[in-house]
Amino acid sequence: MMGPGIAAVLAIGGLQATLVSRSQEGAAQGLEQALARIETLRANKLLDDELAAEAVKRLGTTANLEEAAGGADIFIESGPENLAWKQDFFVKLEKITGSQAVLASNTSGLSITAIAHLAQNRGRILTTHFWNPPHLVPLVEIVKAEHTEDEVALRVRDLLAACGKTPVMIHKDRPGQLGNRLQMALVREAANIIGEGIASAEDIDLALKRGLGLRYPAYGLLEHQDIVGLDLAGSICEYVGRDLYAGQDAPPYLKSLIADGHIGAKVGQGFLTWPEGKADEVRARRDKFLIEFLRSQLAKA
């Protein structure tokens, strides 16, 4: 799901990008998706015709891992979120890539230190966590493992910036990296709010979409705290914090949904009800908003 978008980003940034799959059929499907990502940007005037055509020429495919990895300057893995699988894969990558090649994982939550644990040259391994959809969301989290060399992390940061992304550096390899730590804090409290009958799932999403979330692209969380004053922020933390969900496990309401089989859009019920086709509508609405936001940023440049 993420690989084609990442490949499109790299190709647009001027790099030769080869999609690697276990089969030629899988690689061909990945290429088709990458081309669709580039066309989306071109059709919405986020990429001019000439640059789009050049990016298309930079895309390639293969089912031969050794062939692709052998000449790579950077290899970005976006395979299953399974620690044992990734550990084995990175051991294999290390053996077939050049000694200076950067080996990156797109993991959204696994420890990159653990992923690199069985490798020998761990200084060149790190996380590059693209946010979905990668061709539209600017953020990429660079997570340094315990042994990642600073020069490697900085080189990757500069490369991603040159590809038009907004890289942020995570200096300690902790669960959830950066964005997901913040997101999970919201998820657990949202589940707690529903479970306690404070507000509905629909109104929680509405409060985020029409309230604090609406201003975040222009007005950061910590910018707001500094502007209102940390004395006030500290006071609010004191009295609100005592009433927030403080358990280390998932909140009881979230656990009850999972136990009842209400695990989200793929089964028709989660926090919200998902009739057939609604998930596609929501994704389309998300992408339309992101495209309009990116076009507004391009107009300001």
Same domain, 34 and 101: yes
Considering the domain architecture, whether residues 135 and 228 belong to the same structural domain is answered as no
Q: Is there a single domain that holds both residue 85 and residue 65?
A: yes
Instruction: Answer whether 76's CB lies under 8 Å from 124's CB.
Output: no
Domain assignment present for residue 7? The answer is: yes
In a shared domain, residues 144 and 272: no
Q: What is the per-residue pLDDT for 179? A: 96
| 67 and 150 co-located in one domain | yes
User: Are residues 226 and 289 located together in one domain of the fold?
Assistant: no
Give the CATH number for residue 118.
3.40.50.720
Q: Which residues constitute the domain of residue 88? A: 3-170
Residue 255 domain flag: no
Query: Quick one: pLDDT at residue 301?
Result: 74
Residues 8 and 59 in one domain: yes
Tokens encoding 131: 């946010």
pTM of the complete model beyond 0.85: yes
Q: In this predicted structure, what is the pLDDT of residue 191?
A: 98
Convert the chain into a string of H (helix), E (strand) and C (coil): CCHHHHHHHHHHCCCCEEEECCCHHHHHHHHHHHHHHHHHHHHCCCCCHHHHHHHHHHEEEECCHHHHHHCCCEEEECCCCCHHHHHHHHHHHHHHCCCCCEEEECCCCCCHHHHCCCCCCHHHEEEEEECCCCCCCCEEEEEECCCCCHHHHHHHHHHHHHCCCEEEEECCCCCCCCHHHHHHHHHHHHHHHHHCCCCCHHHHHHHHHHCHHHHCCCCCHHHHHHHHCHHHHHHHHHHHHCCCCCCCCCCHHHHHHHHCCCCEHHHCECCCECCCCHHHHHHHHHHHHHHHHHHHHHHHC
Quick one: 162 and 291 in the same domain? no
User: What is the count of structural domains for the chain?
Assistant: 3
In this structure, are 226 and 265 located in the same domain?
A: no
pLDDT (tens, 9 = 90+) of the chain, 301 residues, equals 799 999 999 999 999 999 999 999 999 999 999 999 999 999 999 999 999 999 999 999 999 999 889 989 999 999 999 999 999 999 999 999 999 999 999 999 899 999 999 999 999 999 999 999 999 999 999 999 999 999 999 999 999 999 999 999 999 999 999 999 999 999 999 999 999 999 999 999 999 999 999 999 999 999 999 999 999 999 999 999 999 999 999 999 999 999 999 999 999 999 999 999 999 999 999 999 999 999 999 888 7
Are 22 and 67 members of one domain?
yes
The domain that holds 186 is classified in CATH as: 1.10.1040.10
**Residue that finishes a domain, picked among 139, 170, 201:** 170
